[in-house]
Each structure stands twice: as C-alpha cells, then as structure tokens.
Structure 1
Amino acid sequence: MRALRASSNPFADLHHADAPLLLPNAWDHATAVAMARKGFQAIGTTSLAVAAAVGLPDGAAATRDETLRLALLLGSQPLLLSVDAESGFSEDPDEVGEFARQLVAVGAVGINLEDALGSVDRHAAKIAAVKAAAPGLFVNARTDTYWLGERGERGGVETMSRLDAYQQAGADGVFVPGLTDGREIAALVARLDLPLNILYSPTGPTVPQLGDLGVSRISLGSFLYRRAMGAALDALDEIREGHRPGGSTPAYEDIQKMGADSVRHV
C-alpha cells in the first residue's frame, strides 16, 4: 500500500496518486520542454548531465552555480521542477538551507539530497535546515546504502536506520537508488510512512511492477542522458561506416522552436 501523508502542493500530491509518479530528468531547456510536451507534469534535473556538460565531476559539490542556473532557466516554465542538488553542495546545513531558499525563489518545488553514505546526523541536519529555510519545498532524501554500500539484509537494516532519521528531520519522501529486488522494495514500502522513490533500471522491475509494489515515485536519473549520448555515438558510427542512421531524429525546426518558446501546455 502506498504511503499516506497529507500533501501541501501539487508536486507532493503526485506522490499520493493511484499510479506512481514517473519523473524524467532533464539536463537543459530543450529536453525539459520536450518532456513536458510529452505530457509530464513534473520534471527533475540530473546532476551527472549538468556536471558532464561543463566538464566537471558529478557528486563533488562542483556544480552549485550551474545547477542554480539551470533551475532559473527551467523554474520559469509551467512545469513542476525538482532539482538534483547532490549533497547540497556544502557540508554546512545553513548553506544548504540557503541554496534551497534560492531554488524556491527561481521556481523549483522539489529538491533531491543524497547522503553519499556520509554522517547520518549531518544529512538529517541538512534536511532540517532546508525545511526551515523553504518549508514548501518537497525534500526527497536519498540514501546511498544500495548505490554505494551494503545490499541484502545488512543493507536493509542500514537503509531503514538512515531513512528513519531523515523522516524525523522532516523529509517528504525517501529515495533508495540501486534497490531493484522486488521483495526488498515491498518490505521497505511496508515499513515506511513516506513515499518511496526508486531509480528505474532497465534490468529491474518495470514501471507497472514498481507501482504494484507500492513505489510512489520512479526517477530516471541520468538514464535518458546516457541513452541520448549512446544514440548520438551509434549514429556517428553508422554515418562513418556509410550507413543511414536508425532511430528517430526531430526536425531542425522542432528543436529551434523548443529553444525559442516556453512550454504552453503541460
């Protein structure tokens, strides 16, 4: 059964619907516009693509300015924007809270904060600082227990311990990337009072299967960016080898329009 909790904004409401929220992750204006025109009300950003676009490492607190710049660009669009903020770009909870306040000022409605398996207390303090600085911002508290650490029974115990702390700190939802086992997902859903976010994996459960397990939100993370990069490189190889590239290619005029116009309908 999906977690039940009073919601305070349209983005939070999407975590309590009959079907899970499928959240695609954009890396620039055009991709966000294209996703919104496909009917997605809410769109996230992906820190990997933001970092890769400017030649910086992901997860190293190096892209604070670039992330805020992208949020400013997308926050003015008629879509619900959630920002991947790595670990908050600082170890100082007050600085993380100030960054969250700036995100709200440019139109973001959600933030994703990862613990990178650092101190539980420090990450909880960051969450609390965000909720104090930006009470209406939906905080998706990510733990990297499965992404970077233990799996199986030990991973489950550590995961629940961290998520309990983040819930008490005021998180609105929790995120466990790397968790793909259906039985473990269902067990976690049964123990949680908050919406559970799972990172989509092509080798894991499908979107309908994750919904049946009680998952409230399914993020695509960097998958679409990496898929787009793969398609570009495949096309390059095909052209070099004298073949006509397969797959779909939007018209020049369509991309030009995405870059020039705002989303008119979501």
Structure 2
Amino acid sequence: MTADPTMTTFAGLHHRPGVPLLLPNAWDHASAAALAARGFPAIGTTSLAVAAAAGLPDGEGATREQTLALALTLGAGPWLLSVDAEDGFSPDPSEVAALARELWAVGVAGVNLEDGLGPVDRHAAKIAAVKAAAPGLFVNARTDTYWSGDGDERDTLRRLDAYQQAGADGVFVPGLTDPRRIAALVRHLEAPLNILYSPAGPTVAQLADLGVRRISLGSLLYRRALGAALDAVTDIAAGRTPDGTTPTYPEVRALERNVSVSRSANASG
C-alpha cells in the first residue's frame, strides 16, 4: 500500500482540507521528543527560546550559531522539523541560501523566514535563493505587517504575492486574528496560509473552518513553561504544593533515550 503523501511529507501536511497542521514549537530535544510522543508529526523551533537560552536578543540576527546547533540536535529526530531562522541572519540572499543548505543537510524539512518589514524585493530574493539552493526545503515566508506593522491590507497582499512568486511554499502572517481578514487572505492566496495561534483569537477549529492550513504556537509553549516554573517555585516558597503536570525523572530520561535510539537507527539505515 502506498503511503499517503499528505501524512508523510512536511509539505503534504499543509494540504489536508479542513485539517490544518498544528505546529508546536520546541526549544530543546526533550521538549521536541515530548511533543512528538503526544502525536505531533511535525515540530517547529522558536527563535525567542533560542535567543533567551543564550541571553541574546531575538529578531536581531544574533543567533545563527545557536539556531544551527539546535537544528543539528533536532534534525535527526523522528519528526518533521521546521526551523525559525528569523530573516536568515543576513541581508545577503547568497548567505541565506548557504544557511538553507546547512539546514537541509542536517535533516530539516522547513524553514521560516521573516521580512521584518524590510524591502519586499530583498526578502523575495532570499526566498528564491533558498529554493534554488535547497529545492526540497519548505519555505514559510513570513510578513510582519500585523506583527510589528500597522496591519495594512494592501501591503500585506503586495508582500505575500511577491513571496509566492519567488517560490514560497507557504506564507505566514503572525498577529492577524480577525476572522474576516483571515478568510479574505485564504481566498486570495494560492499558497497555504499560516496563522499564529493566539489565546484571545480564533480557536483551532475556527481557523480550520476559515481555511487556514497551518497553525503555529510560536513561543507560547516556552513562555508557558517559564511561567509554570515561576508558579511552582512561588508555591513551594509559600508552603503550597505546586499544581500542574510534573514529568518524572525516568519519563524525562526516556525521552533522551528515544532520541538516541532514533539517531542510531538513522545512522545504521
């Protein structure tokens, strides 16, 4: 029996009508393995967590080395991996293409590239360079018109059209939560639309009904984990028993072993 490509390839997971790819974002191998064990076939990384772990600023091109190190750690895992690469860590398309080749070589299936509201032509050139360097790498082209801009609809469409024409496999509009505008974008676009989940925005089911094909969690899980740690230590200091789920020591060690086993299997194969 031939495997269904919509379930076995990263691109295929974006083309299941009514069933968007819910992409949780990990920050180390234990978080990725735990998410995969819950049945998520694809895992993303989050640039905020990479930057915060190193004590560096997010979104300022300071974490190329750390991003590659995490990709090397996670790329061999039994999941499909998408890497948040900020703007590619360079204004030079050839340097972004070199990064793409490195990511593809360590087993990464997709990359997220943000425009940071820089010139449209420059970001389109980066996308085209990445697709030329690593044709199999799924490029999710992000525009920040809603994230850090003023949400101008014309500018959003102009940017997304240019990125599609440059070869983007999917497009990402974080910060957009208005159902009417989301539905309008879905109707306009050819590429799958990625929306960043917001607890104050539409639910996963509502986004699916709107035609969204990918729902990212971004840094939400990482920030929730930090919040849970702070809540727990506050409870302990106050003489209370912490609430919430606490994996046991053996359970965490099992995640480590599972990753090691998968790497050994990949190496022997």
With normalisation by structure 2, the TM-score equals 0.93
Q: CA deviation at 1:249?
A: 0.4
Q: Matches of 2:251 and 2:21 in 1, distance apart?
A: 27
How far apart, in 2, do the equivalents of 1:229 and 1:52 lie?
11
Matches within 5 A, 1:178-197: 178-197=175-194
CA distance in 2, matches of 1:251, 1:55: 28
Q: Which amino acid aligns with 2:245?
A: S
Q: Which residue of 1 aligns with 2:12?
A: 13
| Cα offset, 1:186, TM superposition | 0.3
**TM-fit CA distance, 1:260:** 3.1
C-alpha contact (below 8 Å) 1:37/1:263 kept by paired residues: no
Deviation string 1:31-85 (CA, Å, 9 cap, x unpaired) is: 0000000000000000000010010010011110111111111111111000000
Q: Deviations over 1:64-110 (max 9, x none)?
A: 01111111111111110000000000111000000000000000010
Corresponding position of 2:253: 256
1:165 is aligned, of 151, 162, 165, to: 162
Structure 1 unaligned segments of length 5 or more: list them.
Answer: 1-5
Aligned to 1:111: 111
Q: Equivalent of 1:174, from 162, 165, 171? A: 171
Higher RCO (C-alpha 8 Å, min separation 6)? 1
Q: Distance in 2 between matches of 1:80 and 1:28?
A: 15
Aligned-CA RMSD value? 1.4
Task: Give the Cα separation in 2 of the matches to 1:78 and 1:235.
Answer: 31
Corresponding residue for residue 233 of structure 2: 236
Q: After TM superposition, list the pairs within 5 Å mapping 1:69-88 onto structure 2.
A: 69-88=69-88
Distance across 1 between alignment mates of 2:75 and 2:243: 34
- Of the three residues 231, 242, 247, the one matched with 1:245 is 242
Work out the CA distance in 1 between the residues paired with 2:99 and 2:149. Answer: 28
Which residue in the other structure is 2:29 paired with?
29
Q: 1:263: Cα distance to partner?
A: 7.7
Answer yes or no: is the 8 Å Cα contact 1:51–1:57 preserved in 2: yes
**How far 1:264 sits from its partner (Å)?**
6.8
CA distance in 1, matches of 2:73, 2:245: 27
The offset of 1:258, in angstroms, is 1.3
Letter in 2 for 1:189: V
Distance 1:146 1:176 in 2: 7
Q: Write the mapping of 1:134-145 to structure 2, written as runs, cut at 5 A.
A: 134-145=134-145
**How many residue pairs are counted as aligned between the two chains?**
256
Query: Structure 1-normalised TM-score?
Result: 0.94
Give the gaps of 5 or more residues in structure 2: 263-269
**How many Å separate the matches in 1 of 2:46 and 2:250?**
26
Q: Does 1:219 align with 2:216?
A: yes
